Amino acid sequence: MKPVSNPVEAPKDAEPPMTTVPERQSVSRPPSARERHSDRIFRVLTHCFAWFTVLVVAYIVVTITLQAWPAMREYGVGFVTGETWDPNTGEYGIRPEIWGTLYSSLLALLLGTLFGVSIALFLSEGLLAGFVFRVLALFRVQFHPFWGSLPDKLEGLLNNLVQLLAAIPSVVYGLWGIFVLIPLIRPACNAIHEAVGDWIPLFGTPLSGPGLLPAALVLAVMILPTIAAISRDALVAVPPKLREAAYGLGATRWETILSVLLPTASSGIFGSIILGFGRALGETMALAMLVGGQHTLSWSLFSPADTLAALLANHFPMAQQAEIPRLMYAALVLLVITLLVNVVGVLILRRGQARFEGGR
Amino acid sequence: MGPEVKRPEDDSVIVTAQGRVIRLADLQRSLRRPRTLFSFLLTTLVTLMTLAALVPLFAVLYMLVVRGGRRLSVELFTSLPPVGLEQGGGIGNAIIGTVIMVALAALISVPFGILGAVFLAEFGPETRLAQAVRFCAKVLTGFPSILAGVFAYGAVVLLTGGFSAVAGGVALSILMLPTVMLTAEESIRMVPAKMREAAIGMGATPTQVAWHVLLPTARPGLLTGVMLAVARAAGETAPLLFTALGSNYWPIANGQPRLMQPTASLAVVIYNFSSQPYENQRELAWAAALVLVVLVLTTNLAGQFLSPKAGQR
């Protein structure tokens, strides 16, 4: 051991070691001038790179707005409210696209929230682990070194499986939707249309292939992991005291969930729903492949429709020079909608977290 | 621990201090009481819904293996896509194109993301700039991928006058940046304060602390973030549709990658082939989807395996 490294021992020695050991043998020393300069440069560099992120967001907004400017001057607000898209008459409007975007996203959100929150509850309550534990208890092996670890392992596996749903690329879901889902649900949908289509506008048209319903179903599968993961985090973050207090008062599991856990975690769950909504609004490929790409305004679940993202995906690759400002205008509308939704979601989540941290 | 557990009858009776005997069975609620029944029914419902939500995952994987597996052969990886009624063919150029564009995107987003994260975690964690950056990164996480394509179209394609791999890479890098940056910040923050303080005590400058202590210690977390971002970018279609467009030729000519030419990618090939009427192309779309999903899931799982959280579980 080097004497320098343990200065406490030093006074015990007869001769002071600090003077006998040359200064440069110690590793610690003040930074040289060159190091101070490079430190300064590096700090400025990271500062710039941090700025870069803010600038990218600003640059994206500016680029799209500038490109959309000619169309904004030419069509004004009529572009957003117009219903036709006809190159022959020069009439352009994206109201059907806005309608389709919101309608498909809300449908997907409804399904995604139901299933997502269910999964979040299933995971946060440890229902699977509890069930496996009881099955193991039937065989009296619940504390066995191998079998006893099974409940936790299965719980983790289930969690990963749900997250895998998010890892599958959307274009693969689109492919699956075209060749598996649509043929699968078509007979049932047409039967519903035959039976009640005349009275209920939701089923007013037959499903002839692509349509809103298959698109919304696939979309729901895609946003489900987002909602499940964030809601689960919010539910797990509820202080255990609250749950135990409810159990202590004699509440059943679901009385506890409905009257204590869900209200306490509500801001987290609500934030997850908003973020899921943001994802659904901007999702492109599954919709471009499944929604049909027709400029129609309809309440029917089975009718083909169009969304803003699908419009961009279908028209941009072969766009003529004159068409680009119009598409950029549509992109700007989509940008404004999604930015609004995302900012609201992030703010809600942040407020929810702050409340939790303050409450502990 | 074996013998005690094997006789649960002994555990099922509790004698209280007052001498009252309570059987554990008395503490269980009968299902005939409405409150208990309600609870039981909802538990069953939630279980069924969770199982139902996993059906699409297995359905997709099953179809990929069944329909995509048919075309798995050497030809799939080595030949160019077929045109029209041509038989056979493969997606070799699309695989290479995807790799090139994801690599380009990583080349842009990784330095920016990690150095930005060093600023967020170390140099100015509480500054207003840091808060603005975090906010922008979170907003970018939920950014529609097609708008990244629209941006790259406006900023690169219109500027350079043509569809190219570079434009595709720029579009993908915008989608990768927030993932890389936010996970990097989190893993740098997880480096124990002791290590940083020890380095400062030795007289290291903040830069040296960052390079020699923080980044090497946080490396598994950084890698996880990069892998997850790569997995996401590899599966993206929308930003590539009108930036890299697609191509029927190899993206590498005479040993040089042709970065300024339209470039094929797996995702766009799937999209284009899925809408074609020819059975050969549809089969290739399924095979390409299988390759893409295997690629994405391996990267994703590798990233999760590397993550520092995996060790704790």
For the segment B187-199, the average pLDDT, to the nearest whole number, is 91
Asked whether the beta carbons of A69 and A325 are under 8 A apart, the reply is yes
Query: What's the rounded Cα separation, in Å, for the pair A50 and B113?
Result: 8
Percent of chain A with pLDDT over 90: 32
- Test the B interface: residue of A61, A172, A221 with most B CBs within 10 Å: A172
For the segment A193-220, the average pLDDT, to the nearest whole number, is 86
What does the block give as tokens for B47? Answer: 């279980």
Find the helix or strand (DSSP H, E) in which A208 lies.
Answer: none
Cβ atoms within 10 Å of B278's Cβ, excluding its own: 15
Q: Do B63 and A319 touch (CB under 8 A)?
A: no
Least confident of B9-23, B86-100, B121-135, B167-181: B9-23
Q: B256: distance to nearest CA of chain A, Å?
A: 26
Q: How confident is the model at residue B310 (pLDDT cuts 50, 70, 90)?
A: very low
Residues of B in contact with A327 (CB under 8 A): 150
Tell me the sheet residues that pair with A92: A85
Q: Do B39 and A345 touch (CB under 8 A)?
A: no
Tell me the sheet residues that pair with B13: B23
CA dihedral B290, B295, B297, B303 (to 10 degrees): 180
> Considering the entire predicted model, what is its pTM?
0.85
ipTM: 0.85
Tell me the sheet residues that pair with B257: B252
For the segment B302-308, the average pLDDT, to the nearest whole number, is 79
Nearest-Cα residue of chain A relative to residue B285 = A175
Cβ atoms within 10 Å of A321's Cβ, excluding its own: 7
Q: Do A53 and B6 touch (CB under 8 A)?
A: no
Is the model's pLDDT at A6 over the cut of 50? no
Query: What's the rounded Cα separation, in Å, for the pair A10 and A103?
Result: 78
Backbone φ and ψ for A3, nearest 5 degrees, come out as -60, -35
Question: What pLDDT is recorded for position A323?
Answer: 84
| CA angle (B259 as vertex; B258, B262 as ends), nearest 5 | 85
For the segment B201-224, the average pLDDT, to the nearest whole number, is 90
- Test the A interface: residue of B98, B147, B296 with most A CBs within 10 Å: B147
Residue of A49, A164, A255 with shortest CB distance to B297 = A164
Nearest-Cα residue of chain B relative to residue A115 = B49
Q: Note the pLDDT tens digit of each residue in A139-158.
A: 888 788 888 888 888 888 88
Q: What residues have CB less than 8 Å from A147, skipping those under 6 apart?
A: A136, A139, A141
Question: What pLDDT is recorded for position A359?
Answer: 42
Question: What pLDDT is recorded for position A355?
Answer: 59
CB pairs under 8 A between A and B: 274
Nearest-Cα residue of chain B relative to residue A112 = B53
Instruction: Kindly state the DSSP code that residue A318 receives in the 8-state scheme.
Output: G
Question: What is the separation, in whole angstroms, between the first and last Cα of chain B?
Answer: 25
Residue B245 burial (C-beta neighbours within 10 Å; 0-12, 13-18, 19+):
buried
What does the block give as tokens for B39? Answer: 């609870």
Residue type, B291: V
Residue of A284, A324, A328 with shortest CB distance to B145 = A284
Residues of A in contact with B129 (CB under 8 A): 47, 50-51, 54
B192: three-class secondary structure by DSSP: coil
Question: What pLDDT is recorded for position B247?
Answer: 84
| CA angle (A186 as vertex; A181, A190 as ends), nearest 5 | 155
Question: What pLDDT is recorded for position B11?
Answer: 59
- Test the B interface: residue of A24, A28, A49 with most B CBs within 10 Å: A49
Question: What pLDDT is recorded for position A241?
Answer: 92
Question: What pLDDT is recorded for position B229?
Answer: 93
Residues of B in contact with A64 (CB under 8 A): 147, 150-151, 154
Residues of B in contact with A43 (CB under 8 A): 123, 206-207
* CB-side neighbour CA atoms (13 Å) of A256: 20
Estimate to the nearest angstrom the gap between the alpha carbon of B42 and the chain centroid: 33
Helical H runs in chain B?
Answer: 2-5, 8-11, 24-27, 34-63, 69, 74-78, 92-118, 128-141, 145-152, 158-160, 165-189, 193-201, 206-209, 215-217, 219-235, 238-241, 266-274, 279-306, 308-312
Q: Note the pLDDT tens digit of each residue in B39-62.
A: 889 999 999 999 999 999 999 999
Residue of A49, A165, A328 with shortest CB distance to B115 = A49
Tell me the sheet residues that pair with B252: B257
Q: Note the pLDDT tens digit of each residue in B29-39.
A: 677 788 888 88
Residues of A in contact with B209 (CB under 8 A): none
Nearest-Cα residue of chain A relative to residue B119 = A46
Is the model's pLDDT at A12 over the cut of 50? no
Q: Note the pLDDT tens digit of each residue in A214-261.
A: 999 999 999 999 899 999 999 999 999 999 999 999 888 899 999 999
Query: What's the rounded Cα separation, in Å, for the pair A111 and A311?
Result: 24
B257: three-class secondary structure by DSSP: strand
Estimate to the nearest angstrom the gap between the alpha carbon of A210 and the chain centroid: 25
Is the model's pLDDT at A18 over the cut of 60? no
Q: Do B146 and A143 touch (CB under 8 A)?
A: no
For the segment B57-72, the average pLDDT, to the nearest whole number, is 91
Q: Note the pLDDT tens digit of each residue in A292-325.
A: 888 888 888 888 888 999 999 888 888 788 888 8
Query: What stretches of chain A adopt beta strand conformation (E)?
Result: 85-86, 91-92
Residue type, A47: H
Cβ atoms within 10 Å of B51's Cβ, excluding its own: 12
Least confident of A185-199, A223-237, A344-358, B125-139: A344-358
Q: A58: distance to nearest CA of chain B, Å?
A: 9
What does the block give as tokens for A290? Answer: 């499944």
Is the model's pLDDT at A205 over the cut of 50? yes
Least confident of A172-181, B167-176, B302-311: B302-311
Query: What's the rounded Cα separation, in Å, for the pair A149 and B150?
Result: 49
How many residues in chain B?
313
Is the model's pLDDT at B107 over the cut of 90? yes
Q: Do A47 and B124 touch (CB under 8 A)?
A: yes
